[in-house]
Chain A
Amino acid sequence: MALDIEAIRGDFPILRRTLPNGKKLVYFDNAATSQKPQCVIDAMSRYYEEYNSNAHRANHTLADEATTALESARERISSYFGTSPDQMIYTSGATEAINLVAYGWARENLGEGDVVVLTEMEHHADIVPWQQMSIDKGVEIRYVPIDTESFTLDMDAFEVALDGASLVCVVHTSNVLGVRNPVENIVEMSHSVGARVLIDCAQGAPHERIDFDSLGADFVAISAHKMAGPTGIGCILVKRDAMAEMGPFMTGGSMIKRVTTEGSTFQEGHAMFETGTPRIAEAIGWGAAVEWLDQFDMREIHNHINDVASWTAARMREIPGIRIYGDPEREDSSGAVSFLHESIQSQDLALLLDEGGFAVRTGHHCAQPLMDALGVPSTNRASFWIYNTMGEAESFVEYLGQVVERFA
């Protein structure tokens, strides 16, 4: 059954708003964060209205309800990602998830001269923690380059970089290029040399069903807010044997077994890494988001987004002076269309598009090494999701054409 996009749009109240200049909002900044359906907003409000209480801390009714909701959300979310709750650690998002691998796993297991393989396509969240680990522990970082013609990873260089690697960290889908990397192949190749693998699925999870157990990666980082969930929550999925190798990252309340003036002992499993009061409302909201997403076939969602993105990119290529970075027309590309105009600076273009009601992202997208590889300081990026329509894409291309004609 085809997706009913209008019905889907009806679940998102924000899509009905107009901007201060009277223009109707056309939201094309989904790779930065998605909008939230009413059921997510309601689930979070209900928690605050009806059973707000700290989880895991008391025996009263509200605390019990909050704890049950928090742990039910963990079960629902981990199940959605094809794994069990004991392999999921709540974090504030993908950035904290990757930092948890750096400070919880790598700090315990890597040392001078151990090799961490990254790619030029990574978000800063998957670069800076490893640079810090290089300073702190002396690990060697190798970067796999991208082919700037095809905008894909140089897999021959990847194979060379793997020699002697202890950890491989690769983005599932580029937030700039929309390119989906061959992560299944990367996991297999990395494991064949004995390296652990971290896949950054912040952009991948909103576009395809991530099945952690089937994928076989040791670590998978996910953010809720790009897949209809609230900001401030995400998770790291960790294989049991990898979690057993981890030490505590943040310490304090919740993660301890016993504290004396002489020292402390820690909880085991995910509880060791969830320090302090949990993000209860956010976890409940994320649980509602995956339940909402679960009603759809993610392949249909991907096909819809890919149709809109590839149509848009093809029309944009016809506008004089527009250059697209990435290959949105590829069947496995996500909905990100990065572009520049040869004479209209990206900030100017974004403001001119905003005047027409179109919300697009501008900047280096927290991927400056990728910008360096592409030879540009920034790009504009239109990124599409489940509720965007071909009609919106048509109006965007028409308006962009008018802006170029007027301002170039």
Chain B
Amino acid sequence: MAEDRKWPGHLDPVVEEFRACFDAMERYELLFGYAKLHPSPLPQEEWNDDNQVHGCQSRAHVICSVDESGGFLLRGGADAQIVQGLMAVTAIAVNGMNPSEVAEMEPDYAEAMGIRSSLTPSRANGFLNMFKRVREEAALFQ
């Protein structure tokens, strides 16, 4: 996986865990689990128009920042567990990274995880819009 992957190496075990699932429903079940284990969730009280990710049928909100050591921090929340789960995986990927690396990242890990529906823009389930917003905000911290 190391040669062709376009995501940070520390995400490999997560991608592998999804790849090992028996079928799509098991992957969704795992994603629901990750939604509950979001490393940097954004509580609903902090959801507002400014941090809303537009273009999603479900509600999704992100706040990006850089900590004192220069590491990127993605805090996010969504009412749909599939989007929240993908946000959690994304946070695992990008938290602590250099913002310039985040700005260059591609969302391929979701496809590699086998979450087919997350990569179809017409479904507008929020992941790609969320990812685009994270990348744009990361570019501002460079």
Query: Residues of A with Cβ closer than 8 Å to B?
Result: 20-21, 344-348, 351-352, 354-355, 362-363, 377-378, 406-407
A-contacting residues, B43-71, CB 8 Å: 57-59
Q: Does the CB pair B28–A347 fall under 8 Å? A: no
What are 6 A-B interface contacts by the 8 Å CB criterion? A345-B80, A347-B83, A347-B126, A352-B25, A354-B117, A406-B29
With the chains together, A406 CA to B33 CA distance in Å? 12
Question: Contacts A354-B117, A407-B32 known; A347 to B25 CB distance under 8 Å?
Answer: no
Q: Which of B29, B81, B83, B116 has the most CB of A within 10 A?
A: B81
Residues of B within 8 A of A351 (CB): 28, 82, 117, 123, 125
Q: Does the CB pair A21–B82 fall under 8 Å? A: no
Q: Does the CB pair A355–B79 fall under 8 Å? A: no
Q: How many residues of B contact A (CB 8 A)?
A: 18
Residues of A within 8 A of B81 (CB): 344-345, 348, 407
Query: Residues of B with Cβ closer than 8 Å to A?
Result: 24-25, 28-29, 32, 57-59, 79-83, 116-117, 123, 125-126
With the chains together, A348 CA to B56 CA distance in Å? 13
Residues of B within 8 A of A406 (CB): 25, 29
Complex partner residue of B125 from A20, A347, A407, CB under 8 angstroms: A347
Q: Does the CB pair B79–A345 fall under 8 Å? A: yes
Pick the 4 closest A-B CB pairs, nearest first: A347-B80, A347-B58, A345-B80, A348-B80
Residues of B within 8 A of A352 (CB): 25, 28
Residues of B within 8 A of A407 (CB): 28-29, 32, 81
Q: Does the CB pair A345–B28 fall under 8 Å? A: no
Residues of B within 8 A of A377 (CB): 59
Residues of B within 8 A of A378 (CB): 57
With the chains together, A351 CA to B24 CA distance in Å? 11
User: Residue of A at shortest CB range from B118?
Assistant: A351
Residues of B within 8 A of A347 (CB): 57-58, 79-80, 82-83, 125-126
With the chains together, A406 CA to B81 CA distance in Å? 14
User: Residue of B at shortest CB range from A343?
Assistant: B81
Residues of B within 8 A of A363 (CB): 57
Q: Does the CB pair B25–A348 fall under 8 Å? A: no
User: Residue of A at shortest CB range from B27?
Assistant: A355
Q: Does the CB pair A21–B24 fall under 8 Å? A: yes
User: Residue of A at shortest CB range from B25?
Assistant: A355
Q: Does the CB pair A362–B57 fall under 8 Å? A: yes
Residues of A within 8 A of B28 (CB): 351-352, 355, 407
